[in-house]
Amino acid sequence: MSPVSSAPNSTIRIALAGLGTVGMGVLTLLKQNQGVIQTRTGKTLEVVAVSARTRNKDRGMDLSGLAWEDDPVALAKRDDVDVVLEMVGGETGTALELVETAIRAGKSVVTANKALLAHDGMRLAQLAEDNGVQLLFEAAVAGGIPAVKGLREGLAGNQIELVYGILNGTCNYILTSMRETGRGFDAVLAEAQELGYAEAEPSLDVDGYDAAHKLTLLASLAFGTELDFDKLQVEGIRRISAPDIMIAEELGYRIKLLGLARRLADGSIEQFVRPVLVPQSSEIAKVEGVFNAVVANGNFVDEVMMVGRGAGAGPTASAVVGDLIDLARGTSVPTLGVPCQNLVPAKLAKSEDLYRAVYMHLSILDEPGALAKVAEILGRYEISIASLIQREGRSGLPVSLIITTHEARYANIRAARAELDALSIMAEPLHMMIIQEL
């Protein structure tokens, strides 16, 4: 597989689609560190053509020496381009057309587009193999953290048993700030939007889908399985309350939005993105603010943890240029770590058959016998209570009842939850989270 069709003068000629935060970060890094890059590769990485929505916008850098294409897809058809950088975003439309056109034209592609790859990555990876080019995406997962190279290359000699992490800096910032300030979700989200940590339309982040796109890629790299985003269990952080975070702390836990994929003893794979309670003593609990973390367990290396900034111009540009340097050096690896023909469908574990401990937050009417009704339902489903906290509200208001359980069959837990929610004493639906020991 040829990494690039190199120009005669040892220059790698690059076309860049998208001049937003990441695209301009790439241009800045290539300009500022060109000497370092030449020393490490023996080649010059030169951007020769660009495209963006607005041509005459002041971007703080002179772009007059670069060829301009109003249509990003036209970049892939230029004869003076070896590599195409797709920084447009979006899982369909222009981004997909650009990547496909570039690959068919025999040009390697570097992208930061995790949504595109999570949904269409299998087909694009096969297309890259068929056309003898590279499709690289280090910047699509955890920004500046070399998580993709870590799994695909650094840990390639290991059987990976587990990969998990904090994969969305927006959610981690919100949960950290809620814990530190005692404020609720809505107030902290508004602050994150003001600071630029959250988008004006934050659903992709706070509902867990951004992290799920990334976990889809990590799971494939870890286990040699086909990409299958649609089968991933996804839950976001909108229902997390300030009392949940405070009580979790009292119990020795911290709430994190975790993406996790684990190979079980029978060869099946458990995978999810959801808020969970992790022990405060765990290293993942100490990853705060906008930082991301990726942890992998291999059968020879044991545990490897990588922590860093998961977004922003600098970290993401660093990952993009890292892929460009691999191309310049002639490094050649299959997109997903193994040839597409060797990827196998993931055998997904049945969540109902797994045993889990959970945290339950019930808001119940203060009536005689209410607690007995709750205990009777849990007992009937063989769910043992590990701890119970009752928080009295003001007179006439519902009481908060917080229960943690020992491990029980998840099918039983879900059935018990449904019965609890149907009780007349419930003031609002039960809020439940998994306790994830790591």
CA–CA distance, 148 with 333 (Å, rounded to integer)? 12
CA–CA distance, 332 with 126 (Å, rounded to integer)? 15
One DSSP character per residue, 95-106 reads HHHHHHHHHHTT
- Per DSSP bridges, beta strands 44-51 and 67-68 are parallel
CA–CA distance, 228 with 58 (Å, rounded to integer)? 41
CA–CA distance, 189 with 254 (Å, rounded to integer)? 19
CA angle 65, 25, 315 (to 5 degrees): 155
One DSSP character per residue, 249-315 reads HHTTEEEEEEEEEEE-TTS-EEEEEEEEEEETTSGGGG--TTEEEEEEEETTTEEEEEEEE-SSHHH
Q: Where are the alpha helices (DSSP H) in 165-208?
A: 169-181, 185-195, 203-206
CA–CA distance, 293 with 310 (Å, rounded to integer)? 8
CA distances from 393 to 360, 399, 432 (A): 18, 6, 20
Residue pair 358/433 in contact (Cβ under 8 Å)? The answer is: yes
Is 347 a known active-site residue?
A: no
- Per DSSP bridges, beta strands 399-405 and 385-391 are antiparallel
Structure tokens at 418: 């449904």
Residue pair 113/86 in contact (Cβ under 8 Å)? The answer is: yes
In the set 214, 256, 350, 373, the catalytic residue is 214
Structure tokens at 359: 């945290």
Active-site positions?
A: 214
